[in-house]
Amino acid sequence: MRPGNTSPPNFMQHIPRIKIWYALLLVVMAVFVVKLFYLQVIRHDYYQQAALRGQLKQYEVEAERGTILAHNGDSQTPIVLNQALYTLYTDPKFIKNASETALAVQKAIGGDAGEYEEKMKKNSRYEILAKKLSKEQQKTIADLKLKGVGTQQTNYRTYPQGQLAAQLLGFVNDEGDGQYGLEEALNSELQGKNGRLKAITDAQGVPLAANKDNIVESPQSGKQLLLTIDLGMQQQLEDIIKQQHDETKASQASAVILEANTGAVKAMANYPTFNPAEFSTIEDQSAFKNAVVTDAVEVGSIMKTLTAAAALDLGVVSKNTSYYDPASFKVDDAVVRNIEEDGGPGTKSIADILQLSLNTGATWLLMQMGGGEINQKARVAWHDYLINHYHFGKPTGIEQSNEAAGVVPDPNDGYGLNIKFANTAFGQGQTETILQMAAALAAVVNGGTYYQPQLVDAYVRNDGSLEQKKPKIVSENVVKPTVSKDIQEFMAYTLQKNKVNYGTRELRPEYVYGGKTGTAEVARPEGGYYDDRFDGTFLGFIGGDSPQYVIAVRIREPRNISGYAGAKAAAPVYFKLVDMLINNFGVKPKS
């Protein structure tokens, strides 16, 4: 057989396959190039941070919280400051021997070594071991150079005036958040804005001292405040209500002193109170509340001053109007009666309604708003004054947390509306805070301007200059100026005629006084009223040619008194405060 003929390989037939492999190689190289570009350029910062993760950590730089000042006569005195203390923390990643490290910490600052060890074994990068270390303790820890243990400076609130104005101020918790009072209401302004810091550690995980080169973003300090409060007036108010609380064995005592022509709160206090530097030791959290603004209650007969003002302003009665008072009115299925000292049926004046504290008189005033009877017209007219003139049923907007709005009944919706509104005319069946009552009376006696109550007088700039906060006018024409004068006279007459009941001496003729007591039954939670529990209230003013200060007082459930709670428990506080204001705080006599 003839051997076969073998042809040489044809190179050209492999060219397409080579091109395919070449193309694949180019694709792979392109992928690597793109990946390298992505890693080295686009994600450069990310991987650089990852490479330094053992040594570079981001921490917040705490902003300094704004300090708080108050007036002290002609000067300004700090009432809330900051103190630099230290937080001790651990980064468990760097802890090699938790038991040994924990024992070293315990020997340096005390505490429980077992708790320290437990935190050092956790699967996290940041655990707090202790708070509020002193500078000396911080230095002791730093000198040990413990792997994975460091400190951070933290500002804590201090109170140079002790417990003075505690409920008005509130406090700052361990997380740096304002709680209660002004600290919570203005937390965002006081808190400032934290910065960011690169805290460098050495190879052993020991945090090194930060310097200005490590600041990523500088912190912004909180605003510094100057309050309207006068420290001397505040201290004396607190002393007076504490004394009255103890003498009457009351559940609580509260009072506020308001400038009639600006809305500035000069003093505001409650007793019992607390020390804000020791807030964590207080078990009964009701001690934190500023009851002057948080407790809306049935205020009793002090409301009659505002009922009379509304009737006079509407023109349904005049200053010299008299009427026949039957000593009782039947309204719906209920009967409105007076206290025993009303003098019985007979002709009465508008002044008598306040001086004798006639429930029937307040009811009669409401009737005049309806053309002679309690009806929808009367209810709507009185409701308009309560809501739109006196601004009840809504917070005043003062710089305080948890301010109560109070409740005003709807004039057109519900059952027994006529008797319900008859009750509101003499201070039952609706609720207000004593701050709301003070602000409303200020508007009535200052000529008709309602100022928003305020506690912040000014913001203090970095150079110490003041950015003054102007009084805020909420509404004008609350009542006519003539009505304002009439109410001043009626309240002065009431005070003069009843001063014997209040146990006070003669009033000084060079000043203008005015006031009205209230004794309100305490409502049961399930409805109705207690037979043996009352709140004493007082609403009044003091000044020279015109009212300068308005004073509102509430003594909650006094027990050690004989007589009406308003006259025997609340009125004495007013007279003590009046003497204090005249003697020490520049009440100008009549010109």
Q: What is the pLDDT of residues 537-546, one digit of tens each?
A: 999 999 999 9
**Lowest mean pLDDT across 13-22, 294-303, 396-405, 580-589:** 13-22
Report in angstroms the alpha-carbon separations of 460 from 155, 166, 184: 20, 21, 19
pLDDT band at 391 (very low <50, low <70, confident <90, very high): very high
Closest CA to 446 of 511, 541, 350: 541
- Judged against a pLDDT cut of 60, whether residue 578 lies above it is answered with yes
The residues that bridge with 519 in the sheet, in sequence order, are 536
Q: What percent of the chain has pLDDT over 70?
A: 88
Contact between 233 and 540 under an 8 Å Cβ cutoff? The reply is no
Look up the pTM and report it. 0.85
Between residues 436 and 414, which one has the greater pLDDT? Answer: 436
Which pLDDT score is estimated for 52?
A: 46
What DSSP element (H or E) covers 109? helix 98-109
Three-class SS of residue 278?
A: helix
The answer on pLDDT for 54 being more than 50 is no
Q: In the predicted model, is pLDDT for residue 206 greater than 70?
A: no
What number is the average pLDDT over the span 435-462? 97
Q: Which residues of 24-55 are buried (b: 16+ CB within 10 A; e: fewer)?
A: eeeeeeeeeeeeeeeeeeeeeeeeeeeeeeee
Helix (H) or strand (E) holding 417: helix 417-425
pLDDT surpassing 60 at residue 212: no
pLDDT of residue 378: 97
Encode 318-344: b = buried (16+ Cβ within 10 Å), e = exposed: eeeeebebebebebeeeebebeeebee
pLDDT of residue 1: 45
Of the two residues 129 and 37, the one the predictor is more confident about is: 129
More confident of the two residues 51 and 265: 265
On the question of pLDDT at 490 being above 90, the answer is: yes
The β-bridge relationship of strands 547-556 and 195-200 is unpaired
pLDDT tens by residue, 305-329:
999 999 999 999 999 999 999 999 9
Q: Which two tokens stand for residue 549?
A: 């200060």
Reported confidence tier of residue 342, pLDDT bands at 50, 70, 90: confident
The pLDDT value recorded for residue 591 is: 85
Amino acid at 228: T
Q: Give the residue-averaged pLDDT of 407-413.
A: 95
pLDDT surpasses 60 at 11? no
Mean pLDDT lowest among 149-153, 233-237, 474-478? 149-153
Partnered with residue 550 across adjacent β-strands are 258, 541
pLDDT of residue 43: 67
What is d(CA 182, CA 171) in angstroms, rounded to the nearest whole number?
8
* pLDDT, mean of residues 351-366: 96
Mean pLDDT is highest, among 28-37, 127-136, 277-286, 360-369, for 360-369
E strand map for 326-370: 328-331, 334-337, 346-349
Nearest to 61 by CA among 223, 224, 217: 217
Q: Is residue 190 very low, low, confident or very high in pLDDT (cuts 50, 70, 90)? A: very high
State the burial class of residue 468 (Cβ atoms within 10 Å of its Cβ: 0-12, 13-18, 19+).
exposed
Residue 492 has pLDDT above 80, yes or no: yes
